[in-house]
């Protein structure tokens, strides 16, 4: 798909719309915030769409293809950051403004956390610095926008993990900010946690040949059973699996623990990154909710800032775990399996590094 043909422009104006001044500049803004701030400068809107518009997703796919295909197509730090930004876009708005008002456009674009696409084919930062030219040349001096709370969170995370080895490079961008994220509904989070607990118990049964604890029994965990994904249901129903697969799925206890932590269950904790959860204590804390639909509806999530703190920390810990594994470096105070499950759970919860509303089975954890 040629995304350039799908940009809003002058050709889409209704006949009664007044012509824009000749000296105006057509700007396509790609914002990651949930709610666009008002355009409080002289402008003329040419088009607008958000995630509710089915045209936005294919348009963004086309734009990502444009970005990745310019020039030699080599992945640079700037191109990587731009790609990640476009994956998080929630709003696309096209408008015309005149050059004297560009300082006000810059202020708006910073609040919107937006990159700007201009008619010359370049992608610009809010201050109009060229992030990528039409020829695909990228500029490391052009700063992509990040939410202030995300930048501050990254600084706190790095301070907390300053003794971690290996240390992640400075080029890894911050995670999302509070104005960008939309967390899954609490009832859905509880259902997913109970399903993860159920399938982990069934994997434990296969791996160890033991009787299932109540969390893996349909009569004691009907909500979890009903919330299994197609892939999880196939595993449970097959009654057989290779040992490696069963061992991998057993680690879903840690993903369930992470989601239950996000819901504030007392027995769920993520303070230590090398400690496995106490499965029996975790089940006792959630057992009553597993049979109570009303309890699921009453569930509440922790403050979003706490969840994003955990996401940013877990992302960097998972990066370190993968690097250590590749390089044969011993890890201290981090379990690769624990942080991998936490990363998957938090990415799913916040739709981070994935398409919005990605299914559990398709959730990715890039580092």
Same domain, 112 and 195: no
From CA 44, how far away is CA 27, in angstroms rounded? 10
Per residue in 270-311, pLDDT tens? 999 999 999 999 999 999 999 988 877 789 999 999 999 999
Per residue in 19-31, pLDDT tens? 544 489 999 999 9
Q: Based on the structure, what is the number of domains in the chain?
A: 2
Same domain, 174 and 292: yes
Report yes or no: 224 and 195 within 8 Å, Cβ to Cβ.
yes
pLDDT at 9 (0 to 100): 62
pTM above 0.85, yes or no: yes
Same domain, 120 and 150: no
Q: Is residue 139 part of a domain?
A: no
From CA 144, how far away is CA 124, in angstroms rounded? 8
Q: Is residue 141 part of a domain?
A: no
From CA 214, how far away is CA 143, in angstroms rounded? 52
Indicate the Cα dihedral angle 119, 122, 125, 127, nearest 10°.
-60
How far lies 336's CA from each of 272, 292, 310, 319, in Å? 12, 34, 16, 9
Same domain, 277 and 343: yes
**Over pLDDT 70: what percentage of the chain?**
94
| Residue partners of 337: CB distance under 8 A and separation at least 6 | 251, 254
Report yes or no: 282 and 260 within 8 Å, Cβ to Cβ.
yes
Strand ranges for the chain from DSSP E: 25-31, 44-50, 91-97, 114-117, 123-124, 130-132
Same domain, 156 and 278: yes
Per residue in 173-203, pLDDT tens? 999 999 999 999 999 999 999 999 999 999 9
Same domain, 81 and 159: no
Last residue of a domain, one of 132, 165, 183: 132
Q: Is residue 123 part of a domain?
A: yes
Q: Is residue 137 part of a domain?
A: no
Same domain, 31 and 95: yes
Q: Is residue 140 part of a domain?
A: no
Same domain, 124 and 164: no
Range of the domain at 312: 146-367
From CA 169, how far away is CA 161, in angstroms rounded? 12
Same domain, 101 and 250: no
Same domain, 224 and 318: yes
Q: Is residue 114 part of a domain?
A: yes
From CA 282, how far away is CA 267, in angstroms rounded? 5
| 11-15, 223-227, 339-343: least confident range | 11-15
- Per-residue confidence band for 13, with pLDDT thresholds at 50, 70 and 90: very low
Indicate the Cα dihedral angle 234, 224, 311, 325, nearest 10°.
-40
Same domain, 103 and 186: no
Same domain, 194 and 326: yes
Last residue of a domain, one of 132, 165, 180: 132
Per residue in 233-278, pLDDT tens? 999 998 777 899 999 999 999 999 999 999 999 999 999 999 999 9
Last residue of a domain, one of 77, 97, 132: 132
From CA 50, how far away is CA 35, in angstroms rounded? 9
């Amino acid at each position: 798909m040629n995304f350039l043909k799908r940009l809003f422009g002058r050709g889409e104006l209704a006949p009664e719309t007044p012509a824009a001044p000749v000296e105006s500049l057509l700007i396509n803004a790609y914002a990651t915030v949930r709610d666009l701030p008002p355009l409080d400068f002289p402008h003329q809107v040419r088009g607008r769409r958000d995630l509710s518009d089915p045209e936005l997703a294919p348009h963004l796919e086309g734009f990502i293809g444009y970005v990745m295909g310019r020039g030699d197509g080599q992945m640079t730090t700037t191109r990587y950051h731009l790609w990640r930004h476009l994956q998080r876009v929630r709003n696309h708005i096209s408008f015309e403004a005149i050059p004297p008002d560009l300082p006000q456009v810059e202020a708006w674009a910073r609040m919107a956390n937006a990159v700007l696409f201009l008619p010359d084919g370049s992608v610009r930062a809010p201050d109009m610095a060229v992030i990528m030219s039409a020829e695909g040349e990228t500029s490391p001096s052009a700063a992509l926008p990040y939410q202030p709370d995300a930048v501050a969170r990254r600084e706190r995370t790095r301070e907390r993990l300053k003794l971690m080895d290996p240390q992640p490079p400075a080029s890894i961008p911050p995670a999302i900010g509070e104005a960008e994220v939309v967390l899954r509904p609490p009832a859905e989070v509880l259902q997913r946690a109970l399903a993860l607990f159920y399938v982990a118990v069934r994997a434990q049964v296969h791996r160890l040949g033991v009787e299932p604890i109540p969390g893996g029994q349909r009569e004691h965990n009907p909500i979890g059973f009903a919330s299994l994904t197609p892939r999880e249901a196939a595993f449970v129903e097959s009654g057989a699996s290779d040992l490696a697969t069963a061992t991998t799925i057993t680690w879903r206890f840690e993903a369930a623990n992470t989601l239950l932590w996000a819901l504030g269950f007392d027995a769920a904790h993520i303070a230590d990154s090398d400690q496995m959860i106490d499965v029996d204590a975790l089940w006792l804390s959630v057992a009553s909710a597993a049979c109570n639909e009303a309890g699921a509806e009453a569930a509440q999530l922790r403050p979003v800032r706490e969840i994003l703190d955990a996401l940013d920390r877990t992302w960097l810990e998972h990066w370190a775990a993968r690097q250590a594994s590749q390089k044969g470096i011993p890890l201290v105070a981090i379990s690769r399996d624990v942080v991998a499950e936490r990363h998957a759970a938090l990415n799913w919860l916040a739709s981070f590094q994935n398409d919005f509303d990605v299914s559990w089975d398709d959730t990715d954890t890039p580092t």
